[in-house]
Amino acid sequence: MRQVRHEVDELLADVATYGEGCPQVLGEAIRHILLAPGKRLRPMLVLMASDACGSRSNASLASACAVEMIHTYSLIHDDLPAMDDDELRRGLPTVHVAYGEANAILAGDALLAQAFEVIAGCDAPAEQIVWCLQELTEAAGPCQLVGGQVDDLQAENSVGNVEQL
């Protein structure tokens, strides 16, 4: 598992290399959290499932990166003052603490967009790319990831009962 985690870390470092077209502060904010030490459970599961099926490919690697990027985007937004207002993530100051709230929002947005870019640009048949993009879009959308955040916010502001738990 350590080898798979190392592989994921290397892939993310490659993906998080931004050139002249990207504002420096945005690239720094993204790398601050994306490359911070973490368990990398989600991308490791993608790669381990791919290995178990005997189908490890560039598309598997792109999918693993995209899943971690979407997860990281959700963490950045979850840490914002309007949400959980956390000050530490993965042992480091959260992105909004280190780079400001506006840059944190933009870093999260950029990671979400870049996750789809990574999938769209991978070396796989077009049908597989479209399927993967559809699955990720649905998972990150209003009825799943974003909707879950809404549920979380509403639960914080309600008294709940045993049936709701």
Q: What is the pLDDT of residue 162?
A: 61
User: What is the token pair recorded at 95?
Assistant: 């992105």
pLDDT class for 129, splitting at 50, 70, 90?
very high
In this model, does residue 139 exceed pLDDT 60?
yes
| Tokens 């790319």, located at residue | 129
Q: What is the pLDDT of residue 127?
A: 95
pLDDT class for 160, splitting at 50, 70, 90?
low
CA dihedral for 49, 54, 55, 60, sign (positive or negative): positive
CA dihedral for 59, 131, 72, 107, sign (positive or negative): positive
User: What is the token pair recorded at 162?
Assistant: 């045993």
Which of 146, 134, 10, 148 has the alpha carbon at shortest distance from 68?
Answer: 10
pLDDT class for 163, splitting at 50, 70, 90?
low
Q: What is the pLDDT of residue 58?
A: 84
Cα distances (angstroms) measured from residue 3 to each of 10, 28, 117, 141? 11, 26, 26, 32
Instruction: Record the pTM.
Output: 0.91
Q: What is the pLDDT of residue 157?
A: 76
Amino acid at 112: L
- Mean pLDDT along residues 121-142: 95
Domains of the chain: 2-156 (1.10.600.10)
In this model, does residue 27 exceed pLDDT 70?
yes
Which of 110, 128, 91, 149 has the alpha carbon at shortest distance from 23?
Answer: 110
Q: What is the pLDDT of residues 61-110, one digit of tens each?
A: 999 999 999 999 999 999 999 999 999 999 999 999 999 999 999 999 99
pLDDT class for 165, splitting at 50, 70, 90?
low
**DSSP-H helix ranges across the chain:** 2-15, 24-34, 41-52, 58-78, 95-99, 101-120, 126-140, 145-156
